[in-house]
């Protein structure tokens, strides 16, 4: 015997709401039309699916048997139809390598679980990507705010840097002032910010006397600091989680201010605007949450 798919779908919606009215509102039908579909399905089955009670509807024994498999089947059909009508979106996200390693990658599992239909390609590079040449769809960059009519630009994090080290090295530092940092190994990346940091702090002579170890990426210098190999300079998105977890300590309050910041940038007009909006909003929310969690 054939059964109406519309009637089965209507049954699953009524079962979920527990009322004809709730189902009618969701399906955009009248209550009478919903009730008629249920009566037709019950007549075909030869069993009532709902108990009509004074306080509303409750599932009958037959209704309870049908609810789970019918709901599961309709969900599978809806998913298949959605895949046909809206295939997976592919978005290229360009981010600095250290930002990718220390901030983005630990969070990507949440994104893929939340948005399984968006396939993300992460490009870890400091090169400026061209949206016009489709080198990237969306990007995170350390820059001053971008003001262009064709682009959206959102601030994520400050780019200020400050010293961080392992808890064991922090114990060794004790009450050491910035003026005594020349006795310790300074870990830095190719931006050479330790020199500028100590100059701004009024202790330029300490850089000349200090032993330095230079890495090609900030994330490597931070990992070396976690391993107790010296003192690194880190910015919020690169060290917040390690500080929160106790792997790093910020022994000095002095920061090196930077007019730049970590910004999220993407074109206002895009062929996959919906998918771009999803990942853009997700990054903004994650940045907000990570800062609140470490404030």
User: pLDDT tens-digit profile of 233-263?
Assistant: 999 999 999 999 999 999 988 899 999 999 9
**Which two three-digit tokens encode residue 111?**
């994104």
- Only one residue has tokens 């993300």, namely 120
- Only one residue has tokens 């940092």, namely 181
Confidence of residue 295 (pLDDT cuts 50, 70, 90): very low
Higher pLDDT pick, 291 / 288? 288
* pLDDT at 271 > cutoff 80: no
Distance separating alpha carbons of residues 183 and 204, to the nearest angstrom: 14
Q: Which pLDDT value is given to residue 151? A: 87
* pLDDT at 61 > cutoff 90: yes
* pLDDT at 294 > cutoff 60: no
Distance separating alpha carbons of residues 206 and 198, to the nearest angstrom: 7
| pLDDT, tens digit, 9 for 90 and up, residues 99-155 | 999 999 999 999 998 888 888 999 998 887 677 676 788 999 999 998 888 888 999
Q: Which of 11, 12, 76 is nearest to 39 (CA)?
A: 11
* pLDDT at 180 > cutoff 80: no
Sign of CA dihedral 165, 168, 169, 171: positive
| Domains, the chain, with CATH or none | 5-85 (1.10.10.10), 89-158+260-292 (3.40.190.10), 161-244 (3.40.190.10)
| pLDDT, tens digit, 9 for 90 and up, residues 101-112 | 999 999 999 999
Distance separating alpha carbons of residues 26 and 94, to the nearest angstrom: 40
Q: Which pLDDT value is given to residue 60? A: 94
């Amino acid at each position: 015997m054939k059964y109406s798919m519309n009637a089965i779908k209507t049954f699953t919606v009524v079962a979920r709401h527990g009322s004809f009215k709730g189902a009618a509102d969701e399906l955009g039908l009248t209550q009478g039309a919903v009730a008629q579909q249920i009566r037709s399905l019950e007549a075909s089955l030869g069993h009532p699916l709902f108990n009509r009670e004074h306080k509303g509807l409750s599932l009958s024994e037959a209704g309870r048997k049908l609810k789970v498999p019918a709901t599961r089947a309709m969900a599978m059909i809806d998913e298949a139809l959605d895949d046909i009508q809206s295939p997976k979106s592919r978005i290229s996200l360009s981010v600095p390598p250290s930002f990718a390693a220390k901030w983005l990658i630990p969070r990507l599992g949440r994104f893929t679980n939340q948005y399984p239909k968006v396939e993300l390609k992460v490009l870890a590079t400091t090169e400026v990507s061209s949206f016009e040449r489709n080198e990237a769809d969306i990007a995170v960059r350390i820059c001053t705010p971008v003001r262009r009519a064709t682009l959206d630009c959102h601030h994520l994090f400050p780019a200020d840097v400050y010293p961080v080290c392992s808890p064991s090295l922090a114990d060794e530092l004790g009450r050491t002032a910035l003026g005594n940092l020349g006795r310790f190994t300074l870990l830095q990346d190719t931006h050479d910010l330790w020199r500028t940091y100590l100059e701004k702090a009024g202790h330029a002579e300490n850089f000349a006397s200090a032993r330095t170890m230079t890495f090609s990426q900030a994330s490597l210098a931070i990992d070396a600091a976690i391993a107790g190999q010296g003192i690194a300079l880190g910015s919020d998105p690169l060290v917040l989680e390690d500080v929160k977890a106790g792997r790093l300590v910020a022994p000095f309050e002095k920061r090196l201010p930077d007019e730049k910041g970590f910004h999220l940038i993407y074109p206002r007009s895009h062929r996959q605007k919906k998918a771009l909006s999803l990942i853009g909003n997700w990054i903004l929310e994650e940045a907000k949450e990570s800062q609140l969690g470490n404030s």
